Structure 1
Amino acid sequence: MNVLMSISDWFWNEEIWLPPNTTWADRVSTPENQLPKFMDLWTYPFYIAASFIFLRYFILNPFVFSPIAVKVGIRNVKPKTVVPVPVLEKIFAKYRKNVPEKVILDVAEELQWSERKVERWLRARLAMNHINTHTKFIECAWQFTYYTFAFIFGVFCLHNKPWLYDINHCWIGYPYNKLDTDVWFYYMFSLGFYWSMTFTHFYETRRKDFYQMFFHHLLTIALMVFSFTCNFVRVGSLMLLVHDVADIPLQMSKMLIYLEWKKLCDAVFAFFSILWIITRCGIYPLWIVSNTLFYAANLVPMHPVYYIFNVLLCSLAVLHYYWTYFILRIIVNTAVKGKVEDDRSSSDWRPPSEDGSDGVLKRS
């Protein structure tokens, strides 16, 4: 018990977390001061995350998104399960989709199969690991629904807040800024969503930026926890609003890719690209990050968490520019190929064609 107390005292060192001449006693939340209550971070967001997971997988996916997908022509066709062959399983585990030709020839001779039959088994086994277009569509439908609602809710919460129109108000009165009830709900709602996405991340479609997205979820959660604990909630609420808006056309453009509605997809993706660059590469670094780095330093007493918070903000900006690189690649590919493709996608499994030929792997 003494060891745990020592660790707790070390972690919650006032010299690290709080501005000079401030103690944790000064940060106790009361109905009068309406300061953020730290323990809220470890209760409400997890209840909300559990609610989101239940709503998504047990209500919206089976009863709303899946029927819509089928209605617009996206069938839930799953690859066939192959008959287990221990020798081939070992080869598949070792090489995945890049099996050397000599290995195929050797195992074909060992099993007394044709080379063609071995290749077909390996293709079918690889297909079992991929998620079909139907599942990808309903994943995007869920995120489109959330981000649309979150952005509308964020605008509703912040439309009458002075820091939305003058970001310098984020720091006036710090560290004793009151936390408005609607902003508290916005924070808990958003944090619950990102926790739910983190919990389900390894069950969703694996793309090329799989680990970058996982890091993004953790980084966003860390930023929200830090900003809530240190009462940087005002700038945190602006960060949420700026990030939510571009994800709406992003998810819509993905759904349009799966629907193969080319012209509308191109238009929505063009709108998304412009909105992304304006918000993620313009407003976020030039309005929010620069304000916390330079203007806030004149009003906020310097302490370690202030610097940690800025490092997290800058790390998120770096991720934005990383994804902007992929967006620009998609734009170039669109100009060359004449259609939008998700450049981050892994191999997609396609079902057998109508003439009975094998399903193939489409690498994009």
Structure 2
Amino acid sequence: MEQLSQWLWKQEYWLPPGVSWEDMEKMEGSRRPLPRDLLLALPLALGFIMLRYAFERCVAFPLSRVLGVKDRVCLKVTPVPNLEAFYTKKHKKTDTFYNLSEITSLVNQCNLTHRQVETWFRNQTNKDTPTNNKNFCFPSWRFVFYLLAFTAGFASLINTPWFWDQRECWRGFPQQPVQDVHYWYYMLELGFYWSLLLCVSVDVKRKDFKEQIVHHFATIFLLGFSYCSNYIRIGTLVMLVHDSSDFLLESAKMFNYAGWKKTCDSLFVIFAAVFLVTRLLLFPSKIIYTSLVLSMEMFEPFVGYYFFNALLLVLQALHIYWAYLILRMIYKFLFLGKLDRDERSDVESEAEEEENEEEEEKEEEQSSWRKRKVVLDSRLAMLSSSCVLNNLTNQKANANRRLPKAR
């Protein structure tokens, strides 16, 4: 165990050439980063989980009622033992049940039609899907945290020299004292992301579930490693850039669940603009460029340098993926005239989608029937008019034939 610790904390991994742990201990200032400080993030994560539970019960849920969040109507599911056993065993989304061999086997076992079995699975999945009120609570919690974190982070960094000149992030590195406000900024962000990672299995599962796991791990490793290596100045800028757009997205989700479509669309457009500017322009041009290029003016590369920048590049890859989803939604907004639900969300049930599809099919059938009816009526009118003309012509001809006889 001691050999593993010595190998893990080799100064060649964490510090630039020419700097040792003894030099870090001689660093002047009120606080210097210590690896044991990271242990504070775990009790903070548990505190965030309890605070989130209280916030959702006492604030978010009543707020959802005030804003008019309405839950969808779930159809009653008739108990069918064979289908219930199969559903419990699978315990997956509805689309996994549309296997022809499995459906056929269940049809024979339950003496139901193919359509009835599919409908039963859709209704059961719809019943197990989280309600809109529950979906509203999670983004409202994240909105409050990101808004407070961005406000506090901006206030603590606006007067720092490295906020305006990124070269100041490396002046005197790594022997840079840590201010108390930035220490707590780090610990609170780290504890919050630990709480998200611990709760990811019980939260609403989305399409980018795997990407979220990668994002949380990359963020935690990035924060932990940057703290131990005293990359705190550049780390605070990374957190500020991320928090600047996250609270806008969460607020758009809140109003989406509340049914305030115009407000949701406006907030999403603002979020998209801020996201694309901060994540695709500022982050690579200021943060990554500063860490990759400008830092080399102050020290030579080492293992920690490559590891830290690799994590930044992982985050940038995720930014590009999410930017693709955002641009796709903007495309739908511009050319279809409306914003779809969150591209990452899997909360909408297959039953609802099926009902919408059926309604659209009915509308199409009705419209096509109306068109056929109009055409048929016009043809009947033409036919009737032609028949009337023929009758009039025949009557006139008969009258002309009868005139000579009468004479």
Query: TM-score, normalised on structure 1?
Result: 0.89
Deviation at residue 102 of structure 1 after TM alignment: 5.4
Are 1:46 and 2:45 matched, yes or no?
no
Higher helix fraction (1 or 2): 2
Return the alpha-carbon distance in structure 2 between the equivalents of residues 319 and 200 of structure 1: 21
What residue in structure 2 maps to residue 354 of structure 1? none
What residue in structure 2 maps to residue 273 of structure 1? 272
- Over alpha carbons, which structure has the higher Rg? 2
The one-character-per-residue Cα deviations of 1:297-330 (angstroms, maximum 9, x if unpaired) are: 1102321111111111111111101110000000
Q: Do the aligned residues in 1 keep the contact of 2:16 with 2:301 (CA within 8 Å)?
A: yes
Q: Do the aligned residues in 1 keep the contact of 2:241 with 2:279 (CA within 8 Å)?
A: yes
Q: Do the aligned residues in 2 keep the contact of 1:49 with 1:195 (CA within 8 Å)?
A: yes
What residue in structure 1 maps to residue 55 of structure 2? 60
DSSP-derived class of the 2:200 partner: helix
Return the alpha-carbon distance in structure 2 between the equivalents of residues 134 and 221 of structure 1: 30
Task: Report which stretch shifted further, 102-111 or 84-93.
Answer: 84-93
Aligned residues: 352
Q: How does 1:218-229 map to 2 (within 5 A)?
A: 218-229=217-228
Q: Amino acid of the residue matched to residue 299 of structure 1?
A: M
Task: Report which stretch shifted further, 91-100 or 156-165.
Answer: 91-100
Residue 227 and residue 123 in structure 1: after superposition, are their counterparts in 2 closer, same or farther (change >3 A)?
A: same
What residue in structure 2 maps to residue 176 of structure 1? 175
Are 1:71 and 2:66 matched, yes or no?
yes
Return the alpha-carbon distance in structure 2 between the equivalents of residues 193 and 63 of structure 1: 20
Deviation at residue 16 of structure 1 after TM alignment: 1.5
What residue in structure 1 maps to residue 344 of structure 2? 344
Return the alpha-carbon distance in structure 2 between the equivalents of residues 363 and 36 of structure 1: 56
Task: Report which stretch shifted further, 341-350 or 156-165.
Answer: 341-350
Q: Do the aligned residues in 2 keep the contact of 1:347 with 1:363 (CA within 8 Å)?
A: no
Q: Amino acid of the residue matched to residue 33 of structure 2?
A: P
DSSP-derived class of the 1:110 partner: helix
Deviation at residue 255 of structure 1 after TM alignment: 1.4
Residue 73 and residue 16 in structure 1: after superposition, are their counterparts in 2 closer, same or farther (change >3 A)?
A: same
Unaligned runs of 5+ in 2: 358-407
Q: Do the aligned residues in 2 keep the contact of 1:206 with 1:346 (CA within 8 Å)?
A: yes
Deviation at residue 32 of structure 1 after TM alignment: 4.1
What residue in structure 2 maps to residue 85 of structure 1? 81
Residue 78 and residue 171 in structure 1: after superposition, are their counterparts in 2 closer, same or farther (change >3 A)?
A: farther
Q: Amino acid of the residue matched to residue 43 of structure 2?
A: Y
The one-character-per-residue Cα deviations of 1:159-204 (angstroms, maximum 9, x if unpaired) are: 2211111111000011101100111111111111111111111111
Residue 182 and residue 81 in structure 1: after superposition, are their counterparts in 2 closer, same or farther (change >3 A)?
A: farther
Return the alpha-carbon distance in structure 2 between the equivalents of residues 326 and 122 of structure 1: 29
Task: Report which stretch shifted further, 111-120 or 75-84.
Answer: 75-84
Alignment identity in percent? 32
Task: Report which stretch shifted further, 68-77 or 129-138.
Answer: 68-77
Are 1:293 and 2:295 matched, yes or no?
no
Q: Do the aligned residues in 1 keep the contact of 2:30 with 2:179 (CA within 8 Å)?
A: no
What residue in structure 1 maps to residue 204 of structure 2? 205
Q: Do the aligned residues in 2 keep the contact of 1:29 with 1:37 (CA within 8 Å)?
A: no
Q: Amino acid of the residue matched to residue 66 of structure 1?
A: F
The one-character-per-residue Cα deviations of 1:15-74 (angstroms, maximum 9, x if unpaired) are: 2222223222332387746221221111x21122111111111x1101110011122222
DSSP-derived class of the 1:203 partner: coil
Unaligned runs of 5+ in 1: 351-357
Q: Do the aligned residues in 1 keep the contact of 2:27 with 2:176 (CA within 8 Å)?
A: no
Q: How does 1:243-322 map to 2 (within 5 A)?
A: 243-322=242-321
Query: TM-score, normalised on structure 2?
Result: 0.80
